[in-house]
């Protein structure tokens, strides 16, 4: 009877590496748990509060295994190299891919999403039709002549602002939303007569009285990179995030300090 082959013993280096990776995972899990549990104030106002990574994983279809795996593993110990390689294909041209991914990972794990409500399917379908009409509108294309065509993320943010004001017109009140700050309704003639601030935003019927820094931030990396990661139906998810939720950016993880960048 042949002797059983002995499993090769792990080296001290391998054991130390595994222990270090395990410790990193525990710290990451503890940090995420702290972010989603130590926000007692936010929990009073929103039906559910989760990290941005958790929110996106729940919003992606269960059939989208590749996208779910990419977002779930990005920046995690043991999956870093594969996730980084896959993610680099979806990021905008840049001289510092690792830096882009670091910012994206931080965005996913330190940003909190407070969900106000869940949109019913008919509302989601109506938004899809409205968004298609918005991006193809003739008046919006005329505004492009001074600014150039918008990026997909910019179009989504502009559409959300336009939707907020369309809702408000029915109630005859200004929208109570962070992204609506600095904007007001105007005629087409007033828009064309305005200075550079009006032309920076391709939103028919609106002009900008003063810059909204949160709007500007949502139109740049790492948010633009995030939209690229979401792939097909990413615009629907981003629209739901901006219209149905509040978004809080982390200032100090140790103190659980956040500031709001979108939502009511």
pLDDT tens per residue across all 264 residues of the chain: 555 555 555 555 544 444 444 444 444 445 555 555 557 788 888 989 999 999 999 999 888 889 999 999 998 865 444 444 455 445 544 445 566 889 999 999 999 999 988 889 999 999 999 999 998 875 555 554 444 456 799 999 999 999 999 988 777 778 999 999 999 887 767 666 665 444 456 787 888 888 999 999 999 999 999 999 998 889 999 999 999 999 999 988 777 789 999 998
Report strand pairing: 257-262 vs 206-208. Answer: unpaired
Neighbour tally for 179: CB within 10 Å: 22
Q: Is 217 left (phi over 0), alpha (psi -120 to 50) or beta?
A: alpha
Distance of alpha carbon 204 from its chain centroid, rounded? Answer: 24
pTM, to two decimals: 0.76
> Which residues pair with residue 258 across a beta bridge?
250
Residues 6 or more apart in contact with residue 208 via CB below 8 angstroms: 182, 183, 197, 198, 200, 201
Of 164, 199, 200, the residue nearest 179 (C-alpha): 164
The span from the CA of 113 to the CA of 236, in Å, is 16
The span from the CA of 113 to the CA of 109, in Å, is 11
Of 247, 239, 218, the residue nearest 115 (C-alpha): 247
Question: Omega of the bond prior to 260 within 30 degrees of 0, cis?
Answer: no
> Which residues pair with residue 208 across a beta bridge?
183
Spatial strand order of the sheet with 257-262 comes to 48-51, 112-115, 245-252, 257-262
Q: Do residues 240 and 119 make contact, with C-beta atoms less than 8 angstroms apart?
A: yes
**Two structure tokens written together for 81:** 């190299």
């Amino acid at each position: 009877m042949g002797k059983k082959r002995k499993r090769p013993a792990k080296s001290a280096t391998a054991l130390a590496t595994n222990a270090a990776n395990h410790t990193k995972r525990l710290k990451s899990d503890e940090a995420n748990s702290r972010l989603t549990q130590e926000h007692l104030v936010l929990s009073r106002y929103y039906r559910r509060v989760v990290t941005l990574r958790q929110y996106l994983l729940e919003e992606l279809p269960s059939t989208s295994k590749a996208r779910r795996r990419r977002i779930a593993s990005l920046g995690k110990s043991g999956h870093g190299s594969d996730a980084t390689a896959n993610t680099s294909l979806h990021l905008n041209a840049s001289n510092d891919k690792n830096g882009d991914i670091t910012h994206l990972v931080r965005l996913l794990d330190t940003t909190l999403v407070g969900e106000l409500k869940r949109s019913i399917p008919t509302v989601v379908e109506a938004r899809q039709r409205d968004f298609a009409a918005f991006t193809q509108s003739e008046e919006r294309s005329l505004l492009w002549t001074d600014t150039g065509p918008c990026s997909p993320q910019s179009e989504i943010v502009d559409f959300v602002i336009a939707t907020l004001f369309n809702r408000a017109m029915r109630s005859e009140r200004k929208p109570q939303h962070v992204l609506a700050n600095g904007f007001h309704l105007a005629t087409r003639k007033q828009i064309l007569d305005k200075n550079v601030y009006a032309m920076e935003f391709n939103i028919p019927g609106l002009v900008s009285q003063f810059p909204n820094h949160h709007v500007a931030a949502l139109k740049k990396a790492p948010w633009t990179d995030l939209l690229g990661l979401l792939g097909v139906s990413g615009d629907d998810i981003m629209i739901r995030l901006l219209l149905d939720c509040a978004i809080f950016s982390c200032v100090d993880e140790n103190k659980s300090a956040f500031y709001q960048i979108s939502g009511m």
